[in-house]
Amino acid sequence: MNFQREETSWTVRRIRQAILFLILVVVAVWGFANWRADNHIFAWDKTVSVLVVIVVDPEADPEEDILRGFLSRFLSTSIAREINLAGVERWFESESSRYMKDPMKPLSLTARGPIKATAPPPLPPGEDASFLERWRGTKDFLGYFDSMSERERLVLEGYDAAIFVYFYDAAEIHKYAKQHSLASRRSRIGVVFSAVGPTHFARCATLVAHELCHTLGASDKYEGNRSLFPHGFADPERTPLYPQRHAEIMALGVPVSPKEEKRVNGLSECVVGKKTAAEIGWVE
Ligand SMILES: [Zn+2]
């Protein structure tokens, strides 16, 4: 009798140990996969494919002629301009050729949409949110775009990165004042918010490039409204240092004096600085 009980408790112990071990293995594999995603750098030996998904706010009607006209200007691939996606591609091409000896087309952008959103996305967590609130908020926010991808059968896995551009009516700007653009390197998804209209497209294209750089591994190089010296400056070796002529893409400001910065309105004002180039793998 006693012997049997001992045998049973021994079996239970072994099962417990096996379960614990299995959990450890799963956590380790999950952690390693995340670490790899967080540290992934593209080899740039082939063109990186990017899906750009155009989403339109429920208040705006993508079937409306004016809006359709605006969107087709932004999506235009025939002539690269500062206000369209072809211009973003061209900008990456010219910036990468400053760093890589063997110039090739670094990025290829494929556009999908416009998709009409059924509801606006949840607000991302605020600056003073706790770690848990931040984690949950970011999860909900990215979850919104995940379920949209599923609903629209976007197959994000078929691309190296994806950027969602969420367009809202310029009259709704107050509603989106707190909605800032953001990106996740781990899931290689970026989200850009922009009012729709020709006057907003150049800035929007700049934000697409900025968020795209995040998904490729670049970090922000500003704090508050200030570009950080030296890596947030387009030309940190310039003498005199001010005024700078360009903005670093991960800082998005042109420091014109020690106290003053000009907001960037288009990609022609932006360059990829040395630190960003290293983070995304264009230089050692
Ligand atoms: Zn950023």
Task: Work out the mean pLDDT of the chain and round it to a whole number.
Answer: 89
107 CA from centroid of ligand 1 (Å) = 19
Stronger pLDDT, 284 or 117, i.e. the higher one: 117
31: alpha, beta or left? (left if phi > 0; alpha if psi -120 to 50): alpha
pLDDT at 276: 97
Distance 250 CA to ligand 1 centre (A): 6
Q: Say which residue, 137 or 208, is predicted with more confidence.
A: 208
This prediction's pTM: 0.88
Q: What are the start-end ranges of the H helices in 40-128?
A: 65-75, 85-96
Residues 6+ apart with CB under 8 A from 220: 214, 250, 251
Question: What average pLDDT does range 140-168 have in this prediction?
Answer: 93
- Distance from the CA of 218 to the center of ligand 1, in angstroms? 8
Distance in Å, CA 6 to ligand 1 centroid: 60
Q: Which residue has the tokens 């947030």?
A: 232
Domain ranges within the chain, ordered by starting residue: 48-216, 222-279
CA of 273 to the centre of ligand 1 (A): 14
pLDDT in tens, 9-51: 888 888 999 999 898 888 888 887 777 777 788 889 999 999 9
Q: For the chain, how big is the Rg over CA atoms in Å?
A: 23
User: Element (H or E) spanning 237, and its range?
Assistant: none
Q: What is the pLDDT of residues 237-271, one digit of tens each?
A: 999 999 999 999 999 999 999 999 999 999 999 99
Q: How far is the CA of 71 from the centre of ligand 1 (A)?
A: 24
- Rounded Cα–Cα distance for residues 16 and 39 (Å): 34
User: Which among 9, 209, 220, 258 has a CA at the least distance from the CA of 109?
Assistant: 209
pLDDT band at 217 (very low <50, low <70, confident <90, very high): very high
pLDDT for 2: 64
- The tens digit of pLDDT for each residue in 80-132 reads 898 899 999 999 999 999 998 876 899 999 999 899 999 989 887 777 888 88
| Distance of CA 214 from the midpoint of ligand 1 (Å) | 7
pLDDT classification of 228: cutoffs 50, 70, 90: very high
Which of 195, 261, 185 is closest to 220 using CA atoms? 185
Tell me the CA–centroid distance for residue 251 and ligand 1, in Å: 8
Specify the pLDDT at position 3: 62
pLDDT at 215: 94
What is the distance in A from the centroid of ligand 1 to the CA of 13? 50
Distance CA 256, CA 243 (A): 4
